Structure 1
């Protein structure tokens, strides 16, 4: 005769509450781990940012040097970043709301002290004042304040204290290009921007003027320039603090390597000024980004090459160049390699 498992039935009244307690404890432990640990490494980390040439942009190769640097550092920590582009004020709101894990690249700012954690510096960044070359710009280097000077700022940027307290008249613009366009049109006297980023705008195809007409205030002073670090910003939470520690450890590991030096070097002003010289002093043909002829410019026209072709180019290879003077001034076009001479002036 098969015996009925009475003992199992009899155990149910005490087994159920014990099992329930174990489930509750297990769920609590899982909840605690999820809340205190960084995001799952298999999930992309969303990083808020804004297009900022030449540092980061969806239109740059691999989204630009800063994006490559962040990807490399996070990769060493076991994460994959995903960049969410908007503007800087929106990026900050996304971090404070928890919609994204952080924003980059940013400078340290007192206005964010209530909520921000910063990584160690990714790289150095130099703010400066850029204006039209001439006596008015040169005179700024000798001043103790900027009273009466019209300064263009970019919305969402955090500027240095000496500039903010300089007595200048500030006007905010939605983008760096808009600020430099205002400078071109005489609406402002100078633009407060990074040295490298400002040069990138001046040499871009979108800026409709001759880049060689503009320069920085020289010699620089604490009033007209500030060197700071660029950082990854995270919200000050247990999750943010642990992510910060992992990120800083991976960044320290990357520093000093050839990969890091190469990324930083790519942010230097690598443009080369050239003189376009046609055969026998004739006109130089210019082409658009599809290789179609758009016209010609006189021999002696100067340009700035933003990147030389790789591999083994021949004499007919087209090279992109920002035209600095002549009838196509300000345009980003292409010319044959054979029609270019390095300007050593």
Structure 2
């Protein structure tokens, strides 16, 4: 009986020591846990976008050259950036009602400048007409386009003269939801002209068409319109003005240092691959 009591006492003493050690270790760990809990997570900027290669590519870690510029600019101000991909028309809805902080890349039309807060220009964009190489095509003014069937994309802005002519019925325009569909319609002869940003158009040619067909699609050198691409910030979130100011400040520093040009250089690689030679850059 005495042996049993001794064994029981030893066991109870061991449990007491173990419990005390555990408490001590827990107390020692507590300050480090408190310290880690005190480290704030960086604020997040939520940006709605869509695949628009070569400017934006959701398959790339930083969402392509434009995504890299935006992420770099905000990172230097202590912000994380989260991109979400939606159809272009839904992007505008999300940003207008404050569900997202901003959207990119967009032209800053007069209408958009009223609804959103436009950043400083990031890169010059130039919309041109793509057409089949076996079809003679010249144009100088919008009215010269009335005898052609034009494929356009829902949610895109093609310059005010084009938009007015489409609305007034002076142009034959068929809008679809998908850029790649327009390129295929052009290749098959279902449409005559396809207006698109020049860099994007050649990116699509390279991605969608077999290499033997690359030379069958060309662009007219006269731009339909030349406008810069921007980040459009929400007026509904209450922080759009502040975010725009931060982004513009960091973007200006990147432009002055030459870093912006370096980050945007891959935009013109597709045109160079398709056509050869040095790619044209919009002025």
Q: So what's the TM-score if we normalise by structure 1? A: 0.62
Deviation at 1:111, TM superposition (A): 3.2
C-alpha change, 1:140 and 1:41, in structure 2 (3 Å) is farther
**Counterpart mapping for 1:174-253 below 5 A:** 174-204=177-207, 206-207=208-209, 210-218=213-221, 220=222, 224-237=223-236, 238-253=238-253
Structure 2: distance between partners of 1:165 and 1:254: 37
Q: For the Cα contact (< 8 Å) 1:151–1:189, is it kept in 2?
A: yes
Give me the whole-angstrom Cα distance separating, in 1, the residues matched to 2:177 and 2:41: 35
Displacement of 1:230 in angstroms is: 0.4
Q: CA deviation at 1:51?
A: 0.5
1:84-99 matches, cutoff 5 A: 84-99=84-99
Note the residue ranges of structure 1 that are not aligned, 5 or more in a row.
1-39, 274-302, 306-345
Residues 142 and 86 from structure 1, CA distance in 2 versus in 1: closer, same or farther, beyond 3 angstroms? Answer: closer
Which whole-Å CA distance do the structure 1 matches of 2:65 and 2:125 have between them?
13
Structure 2, unpaired ranges of 5+: 1-39, 277-283
Q: Is this contact kept in 2: 1:41–1:79, CA < 8 A?
A: no
Q: Which has the higher contact order (CA 8 A, sep 6+)?
A: 2
| C-alpha separation in 1, matches of 2:125 and 2:184 | 23
Match of 2:102? 102
Deviates more, 1:119-128 or 1:140-149: 140-149
Count of residue pairs brought into register by the alignment: 231
TM-aligned CA deviation for residue 125 of structure 1:
0.6
Q: Which moved more, 1:188-197 or 1:170-179?
A: 170-179
Query: Could you tell me which residue of structure 1 aligns to residue 162 of structure 2?
Result: 163
Residues in 2 aligned to 1:44 and 1:232: alpha-carbon distance in whole angstroms: 16
TM-score for the superposition, normalised by structure 2 = 0.75
Say which structure is richer in strand.
1
Give the aligned partner of residue 131 of structure 1. 131
Contact 1:177 1:207 in 2 (8 A): no
Cα deviation, 1:28-75, whole Å, max 9, x if unaligned, reads xxxxxxxxxxxx971321100001011111213532100000101111
The answer on whether the counterparts of 1:203 and 1:304 sit within 8 Å (CA) in structure 2 is no
